[in-house]
């Protein structure tokens, strides 16, 4: 009971922290930081060529693209599918469907958020697929913040030691951070948009975890 109660308090805390930073980003409080980082990247790396606004040489652009792909819809689908069937194989079907629901509802949610920010009356499938609805918030940062901690959560439930649990969550957080950073250094998003994606993802993950993944207090 004490463990469950502590877990609930942590989730509420994470939810409020995420919501707080999302609101700060929505009101533009990180815009100056975004401008400073963009200026720093341009001054130190320059644009890749005169036709693009990506930073640094081609190898740097490719590096950022490869890293940020961990938050792309294609890789998210592949990783989620593999992990779903992993849970099925180890006879954790209930958790497998909770995980699948988490990923699906999260993807639907971020599309809705981007649609609201795009201020468009109609949306095409191409715009959804190519993620051109809106830059705010970063979809890569959002979905990685939901996906990898969710995987860490399910993996940690079968962990034998606290060190093993810690490894899962530290690894998940590391992936979330590098995906977000790569979106900035790869000129895909501003710092404001990435912070918005991280914070909204944290808020959404906490909400999903609280309502779907938590154990009831006896």
126 is a domain residue: yes
Count Cβ atoms below 10 Å from residue 63 Cβ, excluding itself: 15
205 is a domain residue: yes
21 is a domain residue: yes
192 is a domain residue: yes
116 is a domain residue: yes
Print pLDDT tens along the chain (218 aa): 455 666 778 888 999 999 999 999 999 999 999 999 999 999 999 999 888 889 999 999 999 999 999 999 899 999 999 999 999 999 999 999 999 999 999 999 998 888 888 766 566 655 555 555 678 999 999 999 999 999 999 999 888 899 999 999 999 999 999 999 999 999 889 999 999 999 999 999 999 988 865 544 33
| Under 8 Å between Cβ of 18 and 199 | yes
Return the pLDDT at 121: 59
Return the pLDDT at 120: 61
Total domains, the chain: 1
CA 64 vs. chain centroid, Å, equals 16
| Under 8 Å between Cβ of 14 and 200 | no
Return the pLDDT at 122: 61
198 is a domain residue: yes
**Long-range CB contacts (< 8 A, 24+ apart) of 62-68?**
63/182, 64/182, 64/183, 64/185, 64/186, 64/188, 65/182, 65/186, 67/178, 67/179, 67/182, 67/186, 68/140, 68/179, 68/182, 68/183, 68/186, 68/188
Residue 28: give the domain boundaries.
2-45+53-213
218 is a domain residue: no
190 is a domain residue: yes
Return the pLDDT at 124: 62
């Amino acid at each position: 009971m004490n463990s469950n109660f502590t877990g609930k308090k942590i989730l509420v805390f994470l939810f409020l922290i995420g919501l707080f930073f999302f609101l700060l980003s929505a009101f533009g409080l990180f815009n100056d930081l975004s401008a400073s980082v963009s200026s720093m990247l341009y001054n130190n790396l320059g644009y890749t060529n005169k036709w693009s606004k990506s930073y640094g040489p081609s190898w740097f652009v490719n590096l950022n693209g490869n890293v940020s792909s961990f938050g792309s819809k294609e890789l998210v689908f592949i990783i989620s599918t593999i992990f779903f069937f992993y849970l099925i194989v180890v006879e954790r079907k209930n958790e497998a469907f909770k995980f699948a629901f988490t990923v699906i509802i999260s993807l639907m949610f971020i599309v809705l958020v981007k649609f609201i920010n795009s201020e468009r009356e109609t949306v095409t499938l191409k715009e959804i697929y190519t993620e051109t609805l809106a830059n705010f918030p970063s979809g890569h940062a959002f979905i990685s913040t939901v996906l990898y901690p969710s995987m860490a959560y399910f993996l940690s439930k079968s962990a034998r030691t606290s060190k093993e649990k810690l490894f899962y969550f530290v690894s998940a957080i590391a992936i979330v951070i590098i995906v977000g950073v790569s979106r900035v250094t790869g000129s895909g998003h501003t710092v404001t948009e990435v912070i918005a994606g991280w914070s909204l993802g944290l808020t959404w993950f906490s909400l999903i975890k609280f309502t779907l993944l938590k154990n009831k207090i006896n």
